[in-house]
Amino acid sequence: MSTNGHVVNGDAQVPPVLAPPPLGGLGRGNDIVIGARDRRCEIYRFNSEQPLYASAWSNKNDIKFRLAVGTITDVGANPRAANKVSIVQLKDDTGELVETTSFPMEFPANAVGFIPDLENAYPDLLATTSDCLRLWRIVDGKAQADTVMHNLTNAQYGSALTSFDWNEVEPRYIGVASVDTTCTIYDIEVGAAIGATRPTAPFTVKTQLIAHDRPVHDIEFSKINGGRDHFATVGADGSARMFDLRHLNHSTIVYEDPGKEKLQRLSWNKQEHYFLALFAENSQEVQILDIRMPCSILCRLRNHNGPVNGIAWAPHSPHHICTAGDDSQALIWDLQHAPRPVEDPILAYSAGGEVNQIHWGPVHSNWIAICFNKTLEILRV
């Protein structure tokens, strides 16, 4: 196994939920401070010939360390380049992440995601978004094109998609966000849209499903009240909104940026379902909300020295969240004492470049995946 970090002793009190190895005091650079004993930081890498962006962990518990990662290359500027999505997996004998299969993409994928299917009740599916939503089926280790889903009511505008999310409780549902201000919920078993949007004018869409009047940047289902019907979105109008699939004729604004800054990403706490994290475009801080107190910030995370690009809650802890950004840092925070101010993260990792994606392993909950430059790394925390 290759690694470029080392561990030093520290005296910090460590919450046991993230052990082994336990998290400790703040690490600087690749120094990770833990308690009582030395242990080398474990890092696995996958290196690509092209810059990497979108990435995701597999959600099947019978496959160890499998991820999807997509390239992001301007084909117009480099006609010899072609974008693709690779499935990579840990090779035990060499301790390396290796590509097991790949498939081409005409446009770079801005989001990828495996079906949230721990019990293997569904086919092994991977979704991607770029110009449209595509499903890929993994059969005998190879990726096959399965379904292309367009929102037909918006096909005339050719609007790019910005993000998507699987519904973990009802994996047949995928929610997709678009620059044309709309969101669509797809039912993958019938290949049709639920509550399909109907634009009244280009770029000023008012729909049954959503009320953002500028591009929608992110969407994520919530586990509130059983986790089947609720989801939230953020957009360029500076608002975060909640929706209920059973009542698509209205939404609830849970946060509005005071300066109307564009909100880029959101993420729901996996254990405390009313806690929501989000950040604005080019912002160096992450805001934590309790949506039971709409438009009120619970706490702010401010240690990044460049714009934040990604946020990910721990799948197994209600108090821990990881943030990453242009300052080449991935920071883990302990929020158990919020709303008291959270001054410093409890762990910091310095990557080899600006971190543009971060994901906390849903199955391997002691591991975090980050993307920077042409590298995908998974880090044991």
| Tens-place pLDDT, residues 63-81 | 889 999 999 987 666 656 6
**Of 105, 244, 225, residue with least CA distance to 169:** 225
pLDDT by residue (tens digit) across 349-378? 999 999 999 999 999 899 999 999 999 999
The mean pLDDT of 113-136, rounded to a whole number, is 91
Does 329 have pLDDT greater than 90?
yes
**Is the backbone peptide bond immediately before 307 cis, with ω within 30 degrees of 0?**
no
Does 119 have pLDDT greater than 90?
no
Cα torsion angle, 356, 311, 263, 188, sign: positive
Q: What is the pLDDT of residue 79?
A: 58
With tokens 């290759």, the residue in question is: 2
Does 27 have pLDDT greater than 50?
no
With tokens 């600087």, the residue in question is: 28
Other Cβ atoms within 10 Å of 252 Cβ, number: 14
Q: How far apart are CA 36 and CA 221, in angstroms?
A: 40
SS3 (DSSP) at 48? coil
Sequence-distant (6+) residues with CB within 8 A of 77 are: none
Structure tokens, 196: 């399909």
For residue 325, which phi and psi values (nearest 5 degrees)? -165, -170
Q: Are 16 and 2 in contact (CB under 8 A)?
A: no
Q: What is the pLDDT of residue 32?
A: 35
Does 238 have pLDDT greater than 70?
yes
More confident residue, 68 or 156: 68
Q: Are 251 and 241 in contact (CB under 8 A)?
A: yes
Q: What is the pLDDT of residue 75?
A: 64
Q: What is the pLDDT of residue 26?
A: 29
Q: How far apart are CA 118 and CA 213, in angstroms?
A: 37
Q: What is the pLDDT of residue 14?
A: 29
pLDDT by residue (tens digit) across 7-18? 222 333 323 233
Q: What is the pLDDT of residue 199?
A: 31
The mean pLDDT of 32-56, rounded to a whole number, is 71
Q: What is the pLDDT of residue 302?
A: 95
Q: Are 42 and 364 in contact (CB under 8 A)?
A: no
Q: To the nearest whole number, what is the mean pLDDT of the chain?
A: 82
Does 294 have pLDDT greater than 90?
no
Sequence-distant (6+) residues with CB within 8 A of 323 are: 286, 301, 304, 308, 310, 311, 330, 331, 333, 345, 358
**Is the backbone peptide bond immediately before 339 cis, with ω within 30 degrees of 0?**
yes
Does 142 have pLDDT greater than 70?
yes
Q: What is the pLDDT of residue 323?
A: 98
Range of lowest pLDDT (24-28, 252-256, 274-278): 24-28
Other Cβ atoms within 10 Å of 225 Cβ, number: 10
Q: What is the pLDDT of residue 96?
A: 87
SS3 (DSSP) at 134? strand
Percent of the chain with pLDDT over 90: 60
Exposure string for 91-114, b = 16+ CB within 10 A, e = fewer: eeeeebbeeebbbebeebbbbbbb
The mean pLDDT of 14-41, rounded to a whole number, is 34
**Is the backbone peptide bond immediately before 21 cis, with ω within 30 degrees of 0?**
yes
pLDDT by residue (tens digit) across 339-350? 999 999 999 999
Q: How confident is the model at residue 148 (pLDDT cuts 50, 70, 90)?
A: confident
Tell me the Cα Rg of the chain: 20
Other Cβ atoms within 10 Å of 146 Cβ, number: 17
The mean pLDDT of 173-188, rounded to a whole number, is 88
**Of 213, 153, 157, residue with least CA distance to 184:** 153
Per DSSP, what are the bridge partners of residue 83? 105
What CA dihedral angle connects 212, 267, 146 and 367, to 10 degrees? 160
Percent of the chain with pLDDT over 70: 80
Does 126 have pLDDT greater than 70?
yes
The mean pLDDT of 294-319, rounded to a whole number, is 95
Q: What is the pLDDT of residue 165?
A: 96
**Of 278, 276, 295, residue with least CA distance to 286:** 278
For residue 156, which phi and psi values (nearest 5 degrees)? -65, -25
Q: What is the pLDDT of residue 241?
A: 94
Q: What is the pLDDT of residue 122?
A: 86
